[in-house]
Amino acid sequence: MKKVTIIDYGMSNLLSISRAIEKLGTEVIVTADADEIAIADQLILPGVGSFYEGMGELVKRNIPEAIHKFISTGKPFLGICLGMQMMLGEGTEVNQTKGLDIIPGKVLPLPEKNKEGIPNKIPHIGWSSVNYNSQKSSSILENFKNSFYMYFVHSYYALPDLSIHSAAVTDFNDMTFTCIINKDNAWGTQFHPEKSGEQGLELLKSFINL
């Protein structure tokens, strides 16, 4: 039976994502050990907090190299919230910080005001509609109709360099941002599937079944 490995680098709610995976009948391994991460069956990088601190904690534990080694095997990888953001090349929170560079792009702050100058409510918290840009076979979106709702909590958003890496988008007042990124076997979600009820569990199940 496949096991899902969740990366522990001191900046995530490991209990909620672990329980969600276990609810799907899949064994969970939680580890900060780079050697274990590199040889996982399936790998999840969760996260809550700043890009700068998150990357610092990953580097401190020699995890970035292990993640790249894992992804090179072609096995499924999923980044969640901050974990998704760190998949990109650069973050701008606190300081300009090099990311994992799995997918080229930047992480930018949500705009403080809309196009009419009216202040936006930041962080973006709550349920928002997810609309996919494309649907492929062997996709975590395979069993979803466009559109569906997921739970978000964030102040920054991902901006991939190439539109092909934007698998789905969502609206924040009068702007639209990428909420699912994808390149080959690597996926990332800005929302929290583990906090998104049955729809979130369905997405995690799709990931496990890749």
Q: For position 135, what pLDDT does the model report? A: 62
Instruction: Residue 145: name the closest of 131, 158, 157, 161 by CA.
Output: 131
User: Residues of 140-168 as b/e, b for ≥16 C-beta within 10 angstroms?
Assistant: bbeebeeebbbbbebebbbebeeeebbbb
Q: For position 133, what pLDDT does the model report? A: 77
Residue 147: asked if its preceding bond is cis (omega within 30°), the reply is yes
Active site residue: 81, 124, 154, 165, which one?
81
- The CATH classification of domain 3-208, taken from the options 1.10.260.40, 3.40.50.880, 3.40.50.300, 3.10.450.40: 3.40.50.880
Domain residue spans in the chain? 3-208
Tens of each residue's pLDDT in the chain, 210 residues: 789 999 999 988 899 999 999 999 999 999 999 999 999 999 999 999 899 999 999 999 999 999 999 999 999 999 999 999 999 999 998 889 999 999 999 999 999 988 888 899 999 999 999 998 766 555 888 888 878 999 999 999 999 999 999 999 999 999 999 999 999 999 999 999 999 999 999 999 999 998
In the Cβ-directed half-sphere of 39, how many Cα atoms lie within 13 Å? 3
Q: For position 138, what pLDDT does the model report? A: 59
Active site residue: 124, 154, 165, 192, which one?
192
Annotation marks residue 65 as catalytic: no
* Cross-strand partners of 105: 160
Annotation marks residue 81 as catalytic: yes
Active site residue: 68, 154, 194, 198, which one?
194
89/173 Cα distance (integer angstroms): 26
Distance of CA 9 to CAs 12, 13, 42, Å?
Answer: 8, 11, 17
Number of neighbouring beta carbons within 10 Å of residue 101: 14
Q: Are strands 175-183 and 42-45 parallel, antiparallel or unpaired?
A: unpaired
CB 52 within 8 A of CB 93: yes
At 86, is the secondary structure helix, strand, or coil?
coil
Annotation marks residue 192 as catalytic: yes
Predicted TM-score (pTM) of this structure: 0.95
